Amino acid sequence: MSPPRILVLGSNGGLGRCLERKFAPSGSTTAWTRTDLDLEQPEAIAAKLSAHPFDVLINPAGLTSPDVCEVEPEKARLANDEGPRALAEACHARGARLVHFSTDYVFSGKSHDLWREHDEARPANIYGRTKRDGELAVLKVCPDALVARVSWLFGPTKASHPDTVIQRALETEDLSAVADKTSIPTSNLDVCEWIEGLLQTSASGVLHLCNSGVASWHSWAEAALKIARKIGIPVKTTSVRPIQLAELTQLKAPRPLHTVMSNEKLQNLLGREIRNWSVALEDYLMEKHRPR
Ligand SMILES: NC(=O)c1ccc[n+]([C@@H]2O[C@H](COP(=O)([O-])OP(=O)(O)OC[C@H]3O[C@@H](n4cnc5c(N)ncnc54)[C@H](OP(=O)(O)O)[C@@H]3O)[C@@H](O)[C@H]2O)c1
């Protein structure tokens, strides 16, 4: 049987680029950027997609900065809600499978318990609200779609918190990071593997795609520096100063405090344990800083 024809959107983004690299070797994958398909122009989406053959559409694209969403709510609505709704309509019309990415920020962050897929979403900001509206819109039109919620992504295709921390620690001893906000750092590469596995199943509906464990921005930074020292990177920072989220007065969007998601459903679907984020982080940093 020939492999499914996959179309990946948002291929200039961190996850989109990873997904493109993962599926491109199959020879039947196309990757589009915002120039090829603009989610903020939902009325043009059906025509764009009808001109291109695909069996699976993977959408990691969207307006992903909470602060930009907060000041540009209409752009956020189009990119995170109306655009995905139009993708779902197009997939439904042609019988294609849709994998749409969402976020842990759909949750209020007011509970320390693990958030499960069926827990009530009560977003704290416009980013989370428009992503939640997008989830509902996608599933209403396409009940067989997979809505994959991810959190705190890191990996080789886009600099994120651990890369920034190590870079800064090369220059200064004095580093601080928020200690009272928790979630799960999640490897972009692991997400791509899970998606590959899930495409072999008929998984649908909302699913949490995250590594195991829990972290704050502070413990994530400390872990990155510990690995950096182990690799031999000459970081100057010996310990990261813990601060409170409330001290980051420059943030425009309120942030939910605790959004650690349960990945039990994912583990059951794939039939294997999902590794801890710290193991995935070590693999990533070792590979990134491997002498060549
Ligand atoms: N990164 C995280 O920690 C995190 C956490 C939770 C959930 N998520 C979710 O995971 C998914 C992937 O995140 P990511 O970090 O890979 O995002 P990213 O690096 O910000 O990439 C998003 C991509 O979407 C594209 N895009 C933005 N507006 C668009 C539009 N109107 N039309 C078409 N494309 C548009 C961007 O294009 P340009 O390159 O042209 O700007 C970018 O390439 C997103 O759905 C995000 O909400 C991410």
- The rounded Å distance from CA 1 to ligand 1 centre is 32
pLDDT in tens, 214-229: 999 999 999 999 999 9
pTM value surpassing 0.75: yes
Residues 6+ apart with CB under 8 A from 109: 124, 181, 255, 256, 257, 258, 259
Instruction: Retrieve residue 289's tokens.
Output: 């800083």
Output DSSP code: residue 24: G
pLDDT in tens, 237-275: 999 999 999 999 999 999 999 999 999 999 999 999 999
Quote the percentage of the chain above a pLDDT of 90. 97
Q: Of the candidates 250, 89, 227, 256, which has an alpha carbon nearest to the alpha carbon of residue 166?
A: 227
pLDDT in tens, 165-175: 999 999 999 99
Domain residue ranges of the chain, discontinuous segments joined by +: 6-158+185-213+255-275
- The rounded Å distance from CA 160 to ligand 1 centre is 13
**Ligand 1 touching residue 123 (CB < 6 A):** no
CA distance 106 to 130: 9
Phi, then psi, of 117 in degrees rounded to 5: -55, -40
- Using the structure block, give the residue that is written with the tokens 């694209």: 61
CATH superfamily of 6-158+185-213+255-275: NAD(P)-binding Rossmann-like Domain (3.40.50.720)
Local confidence band at 209 (pLDDT 50, 70, 90 cut-offs): very high
CA distance 265 to 281: 22
pLDDT at 134: 98
**Ligand 1 touching residue 13 (CB < 6 A):** yes
- The rounded Å distance from CA 229 to ligand 1 centre is 31
**Ligand 1 touching residue 63 (CB < 6 A):** yes
Ligand 1 pocket mutation pick from 64, 85, 153 by most atoms within 8 angstroms of CB: 64
